[in-house]
Structure 1
Amino acid sequence: MLELLAYLNGPEPVARFQRRCGLFLVEAARDSRGRTCAPAHADNKPCGQVQGTGDHQDNNSGYKYMVNGCGVGGRSRPQYEVRNWLLHVLFLFSSALGHEIFYITCLPCIHWNLDPFLCRRLINIWTLVMYVGQVMKDVLKLPRPPSPPVVKLETRVDAEYGLPSTHAMAATSISFTILLSAPARLQFQFEVGLLIAVTLSSLVCLSRLYTGMHSVLDVICGALISALLMLFTYPYWETFDHFQLTSRISPIVALALPLFLSYTYPELDHYSTTRGDTTTILGVAAGSSVGYWVNEQLGQTFEPQGVLPVPLPTLTAHGLAVSVARCLLGIVALVGTRQIVKALSLRVLYSWAWHVGTGHLLHHVGLGSLFRTGWTGMKE
């Protein structure tokens, strides 16, 4: 059993999957002048036509990415070659379903065009599984697959630990939360919904292998942990929903709990994006929860018209145009608000940090010198 777990957590299954999908490493060769260039292949591609990413360091492998397939001095991380562009684009798109750009567009569009109830429940479950997954990463501290032999197509989160895959957790929770919650609100064929949920979650899981960011064990554990969290919390979804919308202390809990969870997040021995991303997710959950509570108090619940479950609205050209316009307007307002609040928040934090830092500096250095100088002058 331990051998199987070690194999699933190793880089070779990931590298083999990448090669099966048409993603190959291009080994670097050093010439006598100290330049590293990717050698030509059977198709006689010259140096500079193989694929590569930015000029930065890979924390796991110690290899340096080189631009245009060539570099001077030091070890160069092997470039990669794409031989199946259809799968390449498909998996990159699937991987993007777990990034902020998807959450900031898809979840609000569900609220604006389908049902606020579904969006609220998605945000609640998404926040839970993402927080658990991020904390587990920084507690277990299991590394991502090394490169080589794995090709890594993403670098922003490379400093994060691997297990579990939060992409797999988010994809599983979002897909199956909609599947479990929608039948009480909307009329649709459950088998079709199940097929869509399995397909989307599977594509996102496989994309984490294709991009080289997770081992097979990371992905399996992510999907299983998400499924277990949904299984254990499912009986309490309705109870929490009622509390979130009607309780007087709901906004207090919605603001205090994320602050507490952010403050008590596990400390790391190196910089990682996990804590910042987790704080952002908790902030989204807090703001959404307070907003839903305020809407409930004002009677602006935007419930579907008719007896639940209601039929899915007929897709017409007019309805589609209205939905697209609503989404575009909402996303512009949402992104604009995000940028303004982010800029103001950073300015306030910088100002506070500067004052605190200056105060400590004066206390430990400046004030002591001033006091000593003043006391000397008084004695003289």
Structure 2
Amino acid sequence: MEMELQETTMITAHAESSPTQIENGPNKVDAGLLPRDHYKNRLPLWRYELRQLLLPLVRWETPYLAWMQEHCRTPFLDSYFALTANLGTHTFFMIMLPLMFWFGYTSLGRGVVHVLASGVFFSGFLKDLFCLPRPLSPPLHRITMSGSAALEYGFPSTHSTNAVSVALYGLLYLHSKPDIPINARIGTYILATVYTFSIIFGRLYCGMHGFLDVIVGIFLGAWLALMQWFLRDTFDHYVYGESFIPILIILVCIIVLVRIHPEPADACPCFDDGVAFAAVIGGVEIGNWHFAKTQWSWSEPVVGTVPYSFEQLGLAKTVARVVLGILVIFLWREVSKPFFHFILPPVYRFIGRIGLLLPRRHFTSASEYKKVPRLPDDTLPSLSEIPSLMRSVRGARSDSVGPQSAADAYETLAYREKRRRESQVSAAGPSNFDKYEQEMGTGYVDTSALIRGNHDLEALEEKSDNEEDEREVFKIIEPFKPRVRYDVEVVTKLVVYAGIAWWAVDGIPIIFELIGLGLGPQRQESR
């Protein structure tokens, strides 16, 4: 424990904030609203009861996670698990997925897009549905390279869902290719195992998720991978025929799913990610359907395959395809996002005046702003953001203790009340898991109290039993407050990310053929 306390970035909350700051901020605490009633007043009764049913399990597992973290931590593992977490992020997959299509692995790429996008959407759907917090910090340390990760709810783990779905689908694909050499097959199995373990255990090690989060994430990822694998041929036969009607049905389903995405109680960015990846599926289906009708498409091994042969193109053209393709994607994002942010606010204001808008909580209405400022994008960074992203990947990681989001803050306050009501502080002083339980709900680690024992912990509880609790905890999360979100961002994300997917599977492969980086217009019978 001493080593952990020395290495920790301590977050304290001695400075006071005015009532106006607390009441008017994005993470406001309504006057007279007790922490335990925050979710009761913001969620439908059935969702609130489901949340209350699972919340004790989240609280129960926290001390065990803290014990495991304390006894496993080393500087090397801190860096390793913080770094490998980037391999389960949306940004990583958004950059890597197009390569599968450009190198002719259309079936694999299409399947990975489906499992990944559905995993991001449905895990985010469940997060906003249940609004369950991450395990409490303290006692856990949050080790991460992402400034926005802690703003999301904890249940289930999207990283775990992504890792399992992609790895399992990849292994099923590998198993279906008996001509692959045994050494390559074994190496891929080992790589998939290390990758999956690093992501899943890393979520626990880094204090970002609990056992319940990763277990449900694992099952969700496995289910999505198996569904995609066994239904892939049926889906392709239905979608990539001559009629465009199946594509229209998919687009309508995507819009409906986006519209019924649950409203979270707090400003959780899960909805933004879900919208982006739902749009990716729509763009991929439109692009694949159209490219399959062009003269450049291969029909083998699956319909709509992008022609590629290293023997015919060589290294220089292969590298040129990758560089050009990525530049086109980033250029589309750079141009399209500000364009739609410019033209959509007046449209939204007009629709709002005639009463047809269906606003979402935590999104600022177009009637309240004149223009949308330049905004960061956690799913796919802009060209100007790439240097800072690369610097963070080279080793910058944070090790924080204390609430980082509104969900963290309300859980901290609610757990304090629970301890006061039930008098859960042990009279025997810190021992085994008791010391971790005594840190839960403090909002910050009081090391002197841990050393001096139960008497000072009781004093800490008495200090917390007043209206300064809310000021203290919400002061802590001020550096982590989510940015302002604008209503036009929803439609903008749908169009921009559908466009990214379309460019990847249709527009860019056609550009390859037109400028001499393809294999020509003739169709091929086999790879």
TM-score by length of 2: 0.50
Distance in 2, Cα, partners of 1:289 & 1:219: 30
Deviation at 1:247, TM superposition (A): 5.2
**5+ long unaligned stretches in structure 2:** 1-52, 302-308, 356-527
Per-residue CA shift, 1:223-246, capped at 9, x if unaligned?
122213333453212101222222
Structure of higher RCO (CA pairs closer than 8 Å, 6+ residues apart): 2
Aligned length: 291
1:251 and 2:247 aligned: yes
Please point out which of 167, 170, 174 is paired with 1:175: 167
Q: 1:359 to 1:88 in 2, by over 3 A?
A: same
Identity of aligned residues (%): 26
Letter matched to residue 16 of structure 1: W
Distance in 2, Cα, partners of 1:147 & 1:282: 32
Please point out which of 341, 347, 350 is paired with 1:346: 341
2:507 — aligned with what? Answer: none
1:267 — aligned with what? Answer: 263
2:96 — aligned with what? Answer: 106
SS in 2 for 1:163: coil
Distance in 1, Cα, partners of 2:342 & 2:122: 30
Letter matched to residue 78 of structure 2: H
2:118 — aligned with what? Answer: 128
Deviation at 1:335, TM superposition (A): 1.4
Please point out which of 54, 60, 65 is paired with 1:14: 65
Q: 1:291 to 1:195 in 2, by over 3 A?
A: same
Please point out which of 339, 350, 359 is paired with 1:355: 350
Please point out which of 150, 156, 177 is paired with 1:164: 156
Deviation at 1:265, TM superposition (A): 0.9
Per-residue CA shift, 1:4-34, capped at 9, x if unaligned?
x937962233333433443xxxxxxxxxxxx
Distance in 2, Cα, partners of 1:8 & 1:238: 44
2:274 — aligned with what? Answer: 278
Letter matched to residue 284 of structure 1: V
SS in 1 for 2:162: helix
2:321 — aligned with what? Answer: 326
Deviation at 1:112, TM superposition (A): 1.4
1:288 and 2:284 aligned: yes
TM-score by length of 1: 0.68
1:198 — aligned with what? Answer: 193
Deviation at 1:194, TM superposition (A): 2.5
SS in 2 for 1:139: helix
Matches within 5 A, 1:66-77: none
Distance in 2, Cα, partners of 1:129 & 1:356: 33
**5+ long unaligned stretches in structure 1:** 23-82, 306-312, 361-380
Per-residue CA shift, 1:44-79, capped at 9, x if unaligned?
xxxxxxxxxxxxxxxxxxxxxxxxxxxxxxxxxxxx
Root-mean-square deviation (CA), in Å? 3.2
Per-residue CA shift, 1:245-294, capped at 9, x if unaligned?
22512321232221111111111222210111100000111101110010
Q: Which has the higher mean CA deviation after the structures are superposed, 111-120 or 350-359?
A: 350-359
Per-residue CA shift, 1:72-124, capped at 9, x if unaligned?
xxxxxxxxxxx52x323321222112223201211111211251221111111
SS in 2 for 1:97: helix
1:92 — aligned with what? Answer: 82
